[in-house]
Amino acid sequence: MMRNLVTGILLLFTTSAIAGNNSGFEMGGRYARFDPVVSQHNQSGELFRIKGHCQSSCTLFLAIRNVCIEPSATLLFHSAHDDRGNPSPARTEHMLAAYNASLRNYVTSHHYLDTLEFHSISGGDMIRKFGYRACPKA
């Protein structure tokens, strides 16, 4: 009985430790889908894992305090646009605010957010060059 209880508790902690990730959000989209997830994870402190492909608004998850990035991930950056596809400086600023200072300076100086063209950065580079945390082994 005690063994089942301990196993259940360990499973609960293990599941909650890996529960948050970018699955279903990989291709980006409207901020209204992403901002509540960022807020929820910042309130709970739960680990949030960026894995695989993460483009556009998916990069807003970098604003999560307890975010980690898998070295094999690929993050893609571009300028934000409005519902008609026109560049939106205000929305681009919203994305920039999600990034740490090092990444913000890099994407700005390399003009990653000046056009709708995608610019990729590997998860490994996000960790090594920009100081984001590597995810623990799952």
Give residue 19's pLDDT: 57
Cα–Cα dist 56/74, whole Å: 11
Domain assignment of residue 134, yes or no: no
What is the number of domains present in the chain?
A: 1
pLDDT of residue 103: 98
pLDDT at 82: 84
Question: Consecutive 10-residue runs of the chain (138 residues): their mean pLDDT?
Answer: 41 46 87 94 96 96 98 96 86 96 98 94 98 92
* Residue at 137 is within a domain: no
Any domain includes 101? yes
| pLDDT confidence of residue 3 | 47
- pTM attached to this predicted model: 0.83
Does any domain span residue 121?
yes
For residue 119, give its domain range: 2-128
